[in-house]
Structure 1
Amino acid sequence: MAARRELGDELRRLRGERRGAEVVAALGWSESKLSRIETARIGISDSDLERLLRVLEASSDQWARLRELAGRGRARVWWAPYRSSVADRYDEYVAFEAEAATICEWEAQVVPGLLQTDEYAYAVIEVGADVQDPETVQRRTALRMARQTVLTREPPPRLRVVLDESALRREVGGRGVLRRQLKRLYEESHRPGIELRVLPLSAGAHAALGETFIIFEFTDGRAPVVHSEDLVGGQLRTKDADVQVYRDAFADLRARALPVGPSRELIARTGDGLR
Structure 2
Amino acid sequence: MTGTVGGVARPTSMAARRELGDELRRLRGERRGAEIARLLGWSESKLSRIETARTGISESDLERLLRAYGCTPADRLRMRELARRGRARVWWAPYRSSVAEPYDEYVAFEAEAVSICEWEAQVVPGLLQTDEYAHAVIEVGADVSDQETILRRTALRMARQSVLTREPPPRLCVVLDESALHREVGGRAVLHRQVQRLYDASHRPGVELHVLPFRAGAHAALGEAFVIFEFGSEERAPVVHSEDLVGGQLRTKPGDVQIYRDAFEDLRGRALSISETRDCIARTGDSLR
> Counterpart of 1:272 in structure 2: which amino acid?
D
Matched, 1:173 2:181: no
SS in 2 for 1:103: strand
**More off after superposition, 174-183 vs 126-135:** 126-135
> Counterpart of 2:85 in structure 1: which amino acid?
R
SS in 1 for 2:244: coil
Question: Which of 150, 164, 187 is equivalent to 1:137?
Answer: 150
Aligned to 1:37: 50
Q: Tell me the distance in 2 between the aligned counterparts of 1:205 and 1:30.
A: 49
Question: Which of 190, 202, 211 is equivalent to 2:203?
Answer: 190
Aligned to 2:247: 233
Offset from partner CA, 1:46-79 (integer Å, 9 cap, x none): 2321210110122344323322221221111000
Q: Shift of the alpha carbon at 1:241?
A: 0.2
Unaligned 5+ runs, structure 1: none
Q: Shift of the alpha carbon at 1:5?
A: 1.7
Q: Shift of the alpha carbon at 1:30?
A: 2.9
Offset from partner CA, 1:68-105 (integer Å, 9 cap, x none): 22122111100000000100000000000000000000
Q: Shift of the alpha carbon at 1:3?
A: 1.6
Q: Tell me the distance in 2 between the aligned counterparts of 1:253 and 1:57.
A: 48
SS in 1 for 2:247: coil
SS in 2 for 1:4: helix
> Counterpart of 1:193 in structure 2: which amino acid?
G
Question: Which of 256, 261, 286 is equivalent to 1:247?
Answer: 261
Q: Shift of the alpha carbon at 1:33?
A: 2.2
Q: Percent identity?
A: 79
Aligned to 1:216: 229
Following TM superposition, where does structure 1 have runs of at least 4 consecutive aligned residues deviating by more than 4 angstroms? none
8 Å Cα contact 1:90-1:233 kept in structure 2: no
Q: Tell me the distance in 1 between the aligned counterparts of 2:117 and 2:79.
A: 29
Aligned to 1:52: 65
Q: Tell me the distance in 1 between the aligned counterparts of 2:48 and 2:218.
A: 43
Q: Tell me the distance in 1 between the aligned counterparts of 2:57 and 2:100.
A: 22
> Counterpart of 1:127 in structure 2: which amino acid?
V
Alignment of 1:255-270 (within 5 A): 255-270=269-284
Unaligned 5+ runs, structure 2: 1-13
SS in 2 for 1:271: helix
Matched, 1:152 2:165: yes
SS in 2 for 1:267: helix
> Counterpart of 2:213 in structure 1: which amino acid?
P
RMSD, aligned α-carbons: 1.2
**More off after superposition, 221-230 vs 91-100:** 221-230
Alignment of 1:6-45 (within 5 A): 6-45=19-58
8 Å Cα contact 1:171-1:178 kept in structure 2: yes
> Counterpart of 2:175 in structure 1: which amino acid?
V
**More off after superposition, 1-10 vs 209-218:** 1-10
TM-score (norm 1): 0.96
> Counterpart of 1:103 in structure 2: which amino acid?
I
8 Å Cα contact 1:107-1:162 kept in structure 2: yes
SS in 2 for 1:104: strand
Alignment of 1:87-126 (within 5 A): 87-126=100-139
Offset from partner CA, 1:3-37 (integer Å, 9 cap, x none): 21221122123223323332123323333322221
SS in 1 for 2:134: helix
Q: Tell me the distance in 2 between the aligned counterparts of 1:242 and 1:66.
A: 28
Matched, 1:66 2:79: yes
SS in 2 for 1:229: strand
> Counterpart of 1:267 in structure 2: which amino acid?
I
Count matched residues.
275
8 Å Cα contact 1:108-1:167 kept in structure 2: yes
